[in-house]
Structure 1
């Protein structure tokens, strides 16, 4: 089981996040229906909570999921997406990417809800809508993961990701679909944070394919040695 330990250590942020989600999911699953509803509303980053508790609601909402029964699905997605991105970018740049996308997508999507309420397209009760979950961070990680894959797999993966997020956006989009699109774009925009960008666009596969730098053929000559000193020319000596 050494490889499991090494995998967890290589992506600590992903697995700490999963652990917290597992705990909060157990809390909701064991709570009464009324308490469960109170918790998901109290920890939502909706308009009401953002006005009352802006920073806590932005942070806490990313550690809860509405349906504890979907926890195993999130485990699989975290291991496939988040863990690989964190190992590649490093924990700091991974957190900057997914955390920034979660915050930006939450604020943008709730601003959309507010505009719809003010335009009488949504009821005022939407200020208390449930808005919790980890999907915005997953969308951003899925976006930046595109740069980790090698062609031609990259293009197939990119097409699948775009279709997955674009179809709901183009067919009766909700505020969460809009937030997913924002987060995905932020993941694509995180290219400068990737090791591939630092390497001038070369992927790890490119480095391996290129192999080590070639050394010049033949022996390497050192600096030329001066010829031995023959001593003074006998003819140049003065006789007495």
Structure 2
């Protein structure tokens, strides 16, 4: 049976009204059987964000891997996965990938909770492939920018050489880019407040800490703003061109057999082949 065409709508122009969302949640709260519906809501939320859930699970596994190793092995794993200047010169691709899945220090509660809540919400909005794209570009772009700055500073003797060997792992650059992209999920005053909050937090941390990691977070945030802003601008221009050619201002009709992972929420059962 041939696939049925359906209208594809880009998530970049699909904004969220917080007042409407609050009314929806109030209505949900007043309905009976809250515990059962809460369990189903959580299941639906996580089922629609497979990449975020897998990432959180991977951080859990890598943490316990380090806990089961002795201190020497622990340090060796962290330093071999770090995106410091020495590793980036030796094997950049491997450390760019590996560094995002290891966390140095205590149990990464804050990362795991953020992935299962905020990152999952972003993935549900963008779709898995776009979410991965924003996260990866933010992680790689901020890392390359930071390493370039370190290389320049070391070459001109502005910082000690030991900085080139420092450990630097974790998913915070990618998360910062996604948080910045989430600005365009909101509309009106909440959008400005969210963007302002991110700028104050990240720039303030960079001014106080003055570390390359803090500067990397600012760069990752900037990358997230640029990606999302460019995507929104391009999408709206395409919509205007479609309207000018008499195709209507709405979503474009595409002959797609399956929403797949590119369509936000497309991994849910209603988007799959029956």
**Which of 45, 50, 58 is matched with 2:88 structurally?**
50
Going from structure 1 to structure 2, the CA distance change for 1:131 and 1:15 (only over 3 Å counts) comes to: same
Verify: 1:73 aligned to 2:106, yes or no.
no
* Distance in 1 of aligned mates of 2:209 and 2:113: 28
CA contact (8 A) 2:59 2:112 kept: no
CA distance in 1, matches of 2:234, 2:125: 12
In structure 2, the residue matched to 1:208 is none
Match of 2:143 among 82, 94, 106: 106
How far residue 46 of structure 1 moved from its aligned partner, in angstroms, is 1.2
How is 1:143-154 mapped onto 2 (pairs within 5 angstroms)? 143-154=180-191
Task: Report if the CA contact (8 A) 1:81-1:145 is conserved.
Answer: no
Match of 1:190, SS state, is helix
1:195/1:19 Cα in 2 relative to 1: closer, same or farther (>3 Å)? Answer: farther
Identify unmatched segments of 5+ residues in structure 2: 1-38, 240-249, 251-274
TM-score (norm 2): 0.68
Q: Tell me if the contact between 1:11 and 1:91 (Cα under 8 Å) persists in the aligned partners.
A: yes
RMSD: 2.3
Give the unaligned 5+ runs of structure 1. Answer: 203-212, 214-240
Deviation at 1:79, TM superposition (A): 2.9
Deviation of 1:26 after TM superposition, in Å, equals 0.8
Aligned twin of 1:40: 78
Question: Distance between the aligned counterparts of 2:69 and 2:226, measured in 1?
Answer: 40
The question of 1:124 aligning with 2:184 is answered no
The higher radius of gyration belongs to: 1
| Corresponding residue of 1:206 | none
Q: How far apart are the structure 1 equivalents of 2:192 and 2:98?
A: 35
Indicate conservation of the 8 Å contact 1:105/1:183, yes or no. Answer: yes
* Structure-1 separation of matches of 2:198 and 2:152: 28
1:195 deviates by: 7.0
1:125 deviates by 2.1
Deviation at 1:181, TM superposition (A): 1.1
State the Cα distance separating 1:33 from its structure 2 match: 1.8
Q: Which 4+ residue blocks in structure 1 deviate beyond 3 angstroms?
A: 192-200
| Alignment check: 8 A CA contact 2:184 2:229 kept | no
Tell which deviates more after alignment, 91-100 or 119-128: 119-128
Corresponding residue to 1:15 among 44, 53, 67: 53
Distance 2:176 2:226 in 1: 12
Q: Structure 2: how far apart are the matches of 1:92 and 1:135?
A: 19
Offset at residue 194 of structure 1 (A): 5.5
Please say if residues 147 and 196 of structure 1, whose CA atoms lie closer than 8 Å, have aligned partners that are also in contact.
Answer: no
1:199: how far off? Answer: 5.4
SS of the counterpart of 2:111? helix
* Closer, same or farther: CA 77–194 of 1 in aligned 2, 3 Å: farther
Q: How many residues align?
A: 202
Among residues 67, 73, 78, which one is paired with 1:29 in the alignment? 67
Q: Which has the higher contact order (CA 8 A, sep 6+)?
A: 2
- In the TM superposition, residue 61 of structure 1 has moved relative to its aligned partner by 0.3
Equivalent residue, structure 1, for 2:227 = 190
Seen in structure 2, the aligned counterparts of structure 1 residues 181 and 162 have a Cα distance that, compared at 3 Å, is: same
Measure the CA separation in 1 of the matches of 2:158 and 2:117. 38
